[in-house]
Amino acid sequence: MALRRILTVDSTADLAVLKQVSAPVPAVDDALRALMDDMLETMYAAPGIGLAAVQVGEPIRVIVMDLGDREATEEIPEGAEPTRNPTYYVNPEIVWSSEETAPYEEGCLSVPEIFEEVERPARVKLRYLNYNGEQIEEDADGLYAVCIQHEMDHLQGVLFIDHLSRLKRDRSIAKVKKAAKAA
**Chain positions contacting ligand K2U, by CB under 6 A:** 48-52, 106-110, 146-147, 150-151, 154
Question: What is the size of the binding site for Zn ion (CB under 5 A)?
Answer: 1
The yes-or-no answer on residue 74 being catalytic is no
Residue 146 contact among Zn ion, ligand K2U, none, beta carbon within 5 to 8 Å by kind:
ligand K2U
Q: Tell me how far apart the alpha carbons of residues 17 and 105 are, in angstroms, rounded to a whole number.
A: 25
Shortest distance, position 128 Cβ to Zn ion, whole Å: 18
| Number of residues written out for the chain | 183
Q: How many CA atoms lie within 13 A of 87 on its CB side?
A: 18
Residues of this chain, 76-135, that bind Zn ion according to CB under 5 A: 108
Q: Which residue is nearest to ligand K2U (CB)?
A: 48
Specify the residue, 32 or 64, whose C-beta has the smaller distance to ligand K2U: 64
Backbone angles phi, psi at 104, to 5 degrees: -155, 140
Q: Bridge-partner residues for 139, per DSSP?
A: 125
Specify the residue, 31 or 65, whose C-beta has the smaller distance to Zn ion: 65
* Cβ neighbours of residue 147 closer than 8 Å, sequence gap 6 or more: 49, 50, 65, 67
Residues taking part in catalysis:
151
